[in-house]
Chain A
């Protein structure tokens, strides 16, 4: 029972309090790049969630049951990247088949999930801090849900912003960076909610 509570708490804390984009500054590339349309942001969020969770589920046993017994834990980054890249490729095939329009809107950012440091950061962080399997999955789930929520909110704000008068020098990405900064400050207020 207490493990379940810890599991849920880990999800909430990595979703809101330790938000991956706004307080750890991972995954900014796709956050800025795709976060201008709500539809593509949902697709990106789902793809990142899928890749992060499955990368954790695959990488945790590989690290603990293969790399550590073979005494080559320093190869972890290479192995993780290999697994993540393959997963991204598979997700790419899946999206191309099921939703060609989403495949088009995600464009170059879909293969770039491979280098989305949020994914590698989560997997690497889990093994570095020695979390057990359940906690690793909770952390992965929480982090990717956090990414999903934030990229979706960001896209909503940016869609609204298009109708407003913005000084010419700030149009597009600059004002988006302002928005991201304000969102980061707002999320700072959640720090200390759960001790």
Chain B
């Protein structure tokens, strides 16, 4: 019986906190460049940190903004699986003002 109570209490807390987080993420929503998410999806997504960034999403942001010039900074990536699609994607999707930051391999 005790175990059931424990499970129910933890379940309740988890749901309550999850609802809280979702609410706050809606209240404090920050508009971001949608391309960052797209590029992040093309990276391996293992957040190894070998590129020197805090994670794959951080590297994707650097690539989109043109701060990072070489895709091969992502050590875990493969040429045909990760590098080529990112380069192709970034050459087809320019900034709002029309400039493109196309990284090389």
Contact = CB atoms under 8 A, between A and B. Distances in A.
A79 B2 contact: no
Contact of A94 (B14, B20, B28): B28
A82 B13 contact: yes
Secondary structure of the A side of the interface? helix
B59 to A, nearest CB: 13
A194 interface: no
A86 B17 contact: yes
A78 interface: yes
A70 B28 contact: no
A23 interface: no
A86 B30 CA distance: 18
A90 B20 contact: yes
Contacts of A79: 10, 13
A93 B29 CA distance: 8
Interface of A: 62, 66-67, 70-72, 75, 78-79, 82-83, 86, 89-90, 93-94, 96-97, 100, 107-108
Given A72-B2, A90-B20, 16 more contacts: A67-B9, A70-B5, A70-B6, A70-B9, A71-B2, A72-B5, A72-B9, A78-B10, A79-B13, A82-B10, A83-B13, A86-B17, A93-B24, A96-B30, A97-B30, A107-B54
